[in-house]
Amino acid sequence: MVNNIFVYGTLREGERNHWLLKDTNFKGTYETEPEYELRNFGPFPGMMPWGDTSVRGEVYEVSDDLLEDLDYHEGHPSFYNRTKIKLKDYSGEIQAYVISDHPRYQDKLPVIHSGDWKNR
């Protein structure tokens, strides 16, 4: 099965963990609907399902096996939760790694107001 995954941080092209996606099909650069908040955790960002920011990222087609590897890498479901999201100008089903169960982070980490990890 093919899965579409939206990545917005260290998995993006040019970032340190992009090597995990080297053999995948890049589908383009997109932005989420303005329903999120992007926080800076220092070495990586966290997209949270509250707020009014559009987060910028890239969409890749990944196999079930690679999705399982990404789940492990991203700490799903104990840290990030892989969940369905909505993107502007994208009609297919898409998932992303979102932080929703860690409210203690909400007020302690800097907000990335641009919604773009590469423009933090």
pLDDT in tens, 71-88: 999 999 988 999 999 999
pLDDT (tens digit per residue) in 52-78: 999 999 999 999 999 999 999 999 998
Terminal-residue alpha carbon distance, the chain: 34
Q: What is the pTM of this model?
A: 0.94
The one-character DSSP state at 67 is: H
- What phi-psi label fits residue 114: left (phi over 0), alpha (psi between -120 and 50 degrees) or beta? alpha
Average pLDDT over residues 84-98: 95
- Residue 15 known to be catalytic: no
| 50 vs 85 pLDDT, higher one | 85
Give me the catalytic one of 37, 68, 74, 93. Answer: 74
Let me know: does 76 contact 82? Beta carbons within 8 Å.
yes
